[in-house]
Amino acid sequence: MSVRTPQVLEGARGPRDERTAKASPQAAGRDQIPQGKRVYQSLAAKYRLQLTTEEDVRLPNGRVVPGRPKTAQFEEQFLVLDTVKDKAVIELLDTSAYNRANGGDQFWDFQFVLDGIVEARRNQAIQILSNPDDRAAIIAALVAEGVDFELPRQAKRDAPAPANEAPAPTKKTL
């Protein structure tokens, strides 16, 4: 064993990059959030938001026990909450002034980001496949690879006028 290359033990701990890649919803490349979970994304990597503070408790001997603050701590820009266990925290986050849905700019619901990514992919695919030559080439490549797919039907369009001809005049009524 050399000083420059430490011995790696198999088992409980893996390299930090692998652990964070498995824990991060974005790094995993998923297009959906697991059932029963709610994911928020923040602007900062270690964002901490105090949601409420419990009331102070006055004990019979006169001592005051201060209330604990209820906070949300984002790790690696993400906060994953269980919809059943963390229902109160989710309600507080949804009504927070710092939430992008309420005009804030500090954090937002990650589902909106995923929906936007899926919509952008769909629009890009429609744009690429709207050209008949590109569409035929892509379909031929997918069939050659053995990919099973089904394309949605497109609405029939009127044939465009040739480029060298002027468009037909239209009648205007008053």
**pLDDT tens by residue, 51-109:** 888 888 999 999 999 988 888 999 989 999 999 999 989 999 999 988 888 888 899 99
| Residue 130 domain flag | yes
In this prediction, residue 8 carries a pLDDT of: 62
Task: Determine the average pLDDT of the residues in 135-151.
Answer: 78
In this prediction, residue 81 carries a pLDDT of: 92
- Burial of residue 41 (CB within 10 Å: 0-12, 13-18, 19+) is buried
The residue ranking higher by pLDDT, 55 or 174, is 55
State which amino acid sits at residue 66: P
Strand bridging mode 78-82 / 107-109: unpaired
| Residue 112 domain flag | yes
SS3 label, residue 97 = coil
In this prediction, residue 27 carries a pLDDT of: 42
Secondary element (H or E) of residue 64: strand 64-65
Tens-place pLDDT, residues 154-168: 666 655 555 555 555
In this prediction, residue 60 carries a pLDDT of: 93
Tens-place pLDDT, residues 4-38: 666 666 655 555 556 565 555 554 445 678 889 99
| Residue 2 domain flag | no
| Residue 59 domain flag | no
- Cα angle 145-114-74, degrees, rounded to a multiple of 5: 130
DSSP letter for 16, please: H
Task: Determine the average pLDDT of the residues in 111-129.
Answer: 86
Number of domains in the chain: 1
DSSP letter for 119, please: H
- For helices 132-145 and 110-129, give the axis angle rounded to 10 degrees: 110
Domain assignment of residue 105, given as a range = 18-52+65-145
Cβ neighbors of 111 (< 8 A, separation 6 or more) are: 33, 38, 39
Task: Determine the average pLDDT of the residues in 140-145.
Answer: 84
